[in-house]
A and B are shown apart, each in its own frame.
Chain A
Amino acid sequence: MPKNNGVRGEARMVPDASFTSYYGRPVVKAAPWSNDIPAYLFLGGLAGGSSLLAAGADVMHNDELRRAARLTALGAIGGSYLALVHDLGRPSRFFNMLRVAKPTSPMSMGTWIITAYGPAAVLAAASEFTGMIPPGRLSRLVSFANRPAGIAAAMIAPVLSSYTAVLLSDTSTPAWNHGFKEMPFVFVGSSATAAGGMAMIASSVHNAAPARRLAIGGALTELLAIEKMKASMGVVSETLDLGTAGKLIRLSQFLTIFGALGSIVFGRKSRAVSLVSGLALVLGSACTKFGVFEAGQSSARDPKYTVAPQKKSLQDGATHARPKTRWDVLRNPYHRQRSSR
């Protein structure tokens, strides 16, 4: 088995005049996460955006769109649970996280967010199957609860879509940490794009108007936020341009612009263009999540992105003295003494 901390095969250790490192070896460690995690980011976003769309359609009596969006949310949240459990290895490990609620751990908070969101989304979607549920108490419960459940899911949905940015940013992975101000906007934009695109695929042009608006707004937000994020990341922004991450981000931008233009120009008229644009938007959103994820991983593997910004902050005379914040208070009680199961 090769050493897992080794520098990857490609030569990454081009010496840079402005920084030194220990034989080009990484300073921080990349998260040991596979593609399950970006898939989870994408599917969670798709579910969240779809729940919002479904609740709006429900209130507006747009039955076709409501149905399409609720079923998308159901499928997507199911997929994200699967991705999470696959990443952890066993379902019990998911439940293991419910033993604590730690505000300093975005993963712990996220576990509670999807635990609250999941049942609401499932209940809302269940009413779309009432034809299949035999009449009786269960079917009455489902038809009574579907709207409140749908609204509840839509209330949690925006947080479901944006917390994942905090999940990535609260690490020492340079590209994730330095982008913390804008990444939530990139992520909600990407969620809106995905949900809008999926609903354009799944419903008729006539009923998909809200989906098109959501997708176009999302695409704009996502495209602008990613540029702004790069501008605030200093040298680390390179990681969003180079290698696999760069390819994914460029592909995402192409697909998103293509899909958004398609929906603006032909969305109302052509079912075929709607299908293609919708697909482009969904794929564009996935590429964004995978691209941001990859940028983080490659930024962690190259010591330059850890050392250079820190040297700069030292030169700028950054001081760490800071006022006592709420986080100091919150942090500590959760680091309890040895806890037993």
Chain B
Amino acid sequence: MSKTIVHLGLDPAKISGWDVAQPRMGFFTDTSLCIGCKACEVACKEWNEIPEDGLDWLGISYDNTGSLGASSWRHVAFIEQAVPGGRTDTPSSASALDGSDLRWLMSSDVCKHCTEAGCLDVCPTGSLFRTEFGTVVVQDDICNGCGYCVAACPFGVIERRTGSHGTKNVGLAQKCTLCYDRLVSGMTPACAQACPTESIQFGNLSELRSRARRRVEKLQLDGNRAARLYGDDPNDGIGGAGAMFLLLDQPEVYGLPPNPVVATRELGQMWKQAGIAALTFLIGAAAASIER
């Protein structure tokens, strides 16, 4: 483990040029405590004045939000599955008609506020920026709606807002700000404040990380061997997330990528390949032009 990476992992704000030392803030979402009430989704929408984006029945589960997006900055995933191994220790279990055990997994997903954030890397206007809390935020007045960040995010979080003319910030990239406006006044983000079970925990990231490790150890000791942390490792493909999760199954079951890597990691190589191709083109065209 190299020093640099650990450094990167813990203090992206400082590296981005903030002199005022602020501890890095983030979320730890403990999905073993989630009851799927969606209070976080509602609180987020209310506080951030996010427009309504369709009241649809998706017909997949008790989840009708579907995914994170321009107008859903928290998304509670809801999974009904057969219990692995046939029995369960989670409170949210029930018996199916055929007698087999079913369980419900619920998880409130959010922007990961990556240490190495794809959205931030590719933004061509400087609209996306790193705050003093180490979070990643869009500046609405600078975004030109190019949509590059949408494709760059490894988690499908950020999205360009669609809607009728006059909809707030329509056409601009939108995502969770980790309630930047609340943070600067020393308040807790709306979702964490509203969570009735403390499944969403907000705080100093390094503190949250040790709390998360203690929690997953306890769950595993209690026999929940599938319990795992997601986004807690500063040596992963995004340099560690500012919002980590305790999951009870594989990440992809919750709609999370199992091994995300920010594309910018390979950007140096990409430019090199493009350079070689360009040079080949120049030489080839010159050769084609020579006339006897």
Bound pair: A and B?
yes
User: Is the Cβ of A31 less than 8 Å from the Cβ of B150?
Assistant: yes
* A56 with B151: CB separation less than 8 A: no
B187 contacts partner chain A, Cβ-Cβ < 8 Å: no
Q: How large is the interface on B (under 10, 10 to 19, 20 to 34, 35 or more residues)?
A: 35 or more
Residue of B nearest to A65 (CB): B289
Q: How far is the CB of A19 from chain B (nearest CB, A)?
A: 7
Whether A170 and B264, one on each chain, are in contact in the complex, defined by CB atoms closer than 8 angstroms, is yes
Q: Is residue A105 within 8 Å, beta carbon to beta carbon, of the partner chain?
A: yes
Best-buried of B2, B5, B263, B290 by chain A (most CB within 10 Å): B263
Contact of A5 among B69, B155, B250, B252 (CB under 8 A): B69
Per-residue CB contact flags for chain A residues 140-161 toward chain B (1 = under 8 Å, else 0) read 0000000000000011011101
Q: Is there contact, CB below 8 Å, between A32 and B150?
A: yes
Chain B residues with CB below 8 A from A23, complex form: 60-61
A3 within 8 Å of B (CB atoms):
yes
A72: interface (CB < 8 Å): no
Q: Is A328 located at the chain interface by the 8 A CB criterion?
A: yes
Q: Are A108's CB and B146's CB within 8 A?
A: no
The answer to whether B2 and A324 have CB atoms under 8 Å apart is yes
Q: B15 within 8 Å of A by Cβ?
A: yes
CB distance from B51 to the nearest CB of A (A): 11
The segment out of A119-127, A260-268, A277-285, A308-316 that lies at the interface is A308-316
Task: Tell yes or no: B21 within 8 A of A by CB.
Answer: no
Q: Which residues of A contact B275 (CB under 8 A)?
A: 159, 162
Tell me, rounded to whole Å, the shortest Cβ–Cβ distance linking B158 to chain A. 8
- Contact status B69-A4, CB under 8 Å: yes
Majority SS of interface residues in chain A?
Answer: helix
When the two chains form their complex, are residues B288 and A4 in contact, meaning their CB atoms are under 8 A apart? no
Within 8 A of A (CB), among B134-154: 139, 141-142, 144-148, 150-154
Give the A interface residue count (CB, 8 A): 109
Say whether B36 faces chain A, with CB atoms less than 8 Å apart. no
Contact of B280 among A93, A170, A185, A338 (CB under 8 A): A185
Q: Is the CB of B252 within 8 A of A60?
A: no
CB of A17 closer than 8 Å to a CB of B: no
The reply to whether A3 and B235 contact each other, CB–CB distance below 8 Å, is no
In Å, the complex CA distance between A5 and B252 comes to 17
Give the B-binding residues of A (Cβ under 8 A): 1-6, 19-23, 25-33, 48-49, 52-53, 55-57, 59-60, 62, 87-89, 93, 96-97, 99-100, 102, 104-108, 111, 154-155, 157-159, 161-163, 165-166, 169-173, 176-177, 180-185, 187-188, 191-192, 196, 209-210, 213-214, 217-218, 221, 300, 303, 306-307, 310-311, 313-314, 318-328, 331-339, 341
Known: A177-B263, A217-B288; 10 extra A-B contacts, CB below 8 A, are A25-B66, A27-B252, A28-B257, A33-B147, A105-B148, A107-B146, A162-B281, A170-B122, A319-B235, A335-B130
Q: List 11 A-B contacts (CB under 8 A).
A: A1-B163, A26-B67, A29-B69, A53-B285, A96-B144, A97-B146, A166-B274, A169-B263, A184-B273, A333-B17, A341-B142
